[in-house]
A and B are shown apart, each in its own frame.
Chain A
Amino acid sequence: MTFFLAILDGLIVLLLAPLTVGFVRLAKARFQNRRGAPVYLPYLTLLSLMRKEMTVTKHSSWVFAAAPFFVLASAIALAFIVPTAAAGVLPDFASNLFLVGGIAAFGSVFLAMGGMDAASTFGNMGASREMTLAAFVEPAFYMGFSALALVGGTWSLDGILRHLASLPWSAGVPAASIALVALVFVTLAENARYPVDNPATHLELTMVHEAMLLEYSGPSLALLEYASAVKLTVMLGLVASLSLPFFLIQPPVTALGLVLGVLALIAKLALAAFVLAFIESTFVKMRFYRMQEYFSLAFIVALAGLLLALISMTR
């Protein structure tokens, strides 16, 4: 029974991914006093991209063609092993936090290789910067999640979520609050949002993630766009459900509980998208060569989270 719930949790995320991106774009538009496109527009763009013809540069090799599949595979794997709507459905070895870190790195590596194979300076610069960011995000990523693990008592995200859900809100979440802030830093860096990277531009000096997608077109571009959408949804969903561990789908589930869970997830994703849009509209993008300040800040916040977790645990 829990096996189906895990598959369901993954599928929900896969379906909702373009919706979250739509939410974020809508919220940002509204912040900029624009009407913004309808929320379901990303679904349509992906489908239309799928039907377009692909133009591939002569100089690229098989790596350029294979990269989108691996990037999407890593995103899909993340969707299935990171709990968003459901809790207590995955065994310990399935959602170990270091496994999540590894698979995220797997995805960004192939994205960077795709960028490098395009033999254009834009892609190369994007790949070089992406790999630098991936290298610097790891300490903060693992320290933040370890702080959470101390609070949750186990190293599998699913177990942490289940533990937080079982505790009254005041007991669990405050202890993990600083760690969650660190995770927000990490999420922004991992998904190429402000202040690390500007997702909406094609200006070579400010784009990192977009630069690597520059050479892709047609179905490959769709796969890559969809993969980044899924990754964004997974991480936003995780942070949201960790900070608001209510209405989660627990194993002895009833039909009502299921529907409520999905709706709660949609609400949480909308809220998270709104917060993300708010951050993106207020913060300015940091210069790439000041990135070590950003990541050292993230690491220090994670350490503070660890300290708080230790104090709250021993008390």
Chain B
Amino acid sequence: MTPTVLSASLLGAMLVASLLMESRMRLTSLVTLFRVQSAFLGFYALLLAYAEGAIHLAVIALLILALKAFVIPEFLLRVARASGASERLEAYVRPTTLSFAGLLVVGLAFAATNLLLPDGHYFAAAVSLSLVMLGFLLLVSRKDMFGQGIGFLGMENGIFIFGLALTGGMPLLVELSALFDLLILFILVAALVRRAQHEHSSVGTDLLRTLTD
């Protein structure tokens, strides 16, 4: 298992995880799949750090593992249970259609990558772009706030890989503050979910349609 094969398989695992996430209709399974995806992301980053001997990358990888694999999902589940939000999630279309849409999106992402970056590291860029698009699909297709929150975090993971694949990661300070922003963002998502649950006794976004015109 030479490093390149290992990194390719890690990227493949992340791709499969996010594909599966598309059709999960229960909150717990969606969160666990997100944990798996983030874990793979952390290992991939560690692998790269080991390969290039970049210490700052290693620190970032460990932080990602800590935050995205454990802290954020745990916190999200506790908020969901505390506020009594329903376990079942809804979407605009049936789960099977969702997964086929996911497949279509991944295909498009792979096709688009060679248009966007003719000479870059093709596979890593393609996977990162498809992760971003899958996150976007989750954002657009899900009716409830949880689905959108997780979708957004999945997109962030995609962008992080994009950064790693293209340039070997941004300076430490910038990466740290980016992660810090992500954490704050997640806290806000949780706060708004709790408020929505408290006011509308449901986290569905179709109740959040009053502001028109």
A and B, direct touch (CB closer than 8 Å): no
Tell me the B residues contacting A by CB distance below 8 Å: none
Tell me the A residues contacting B by CB distance below 8 Å: none
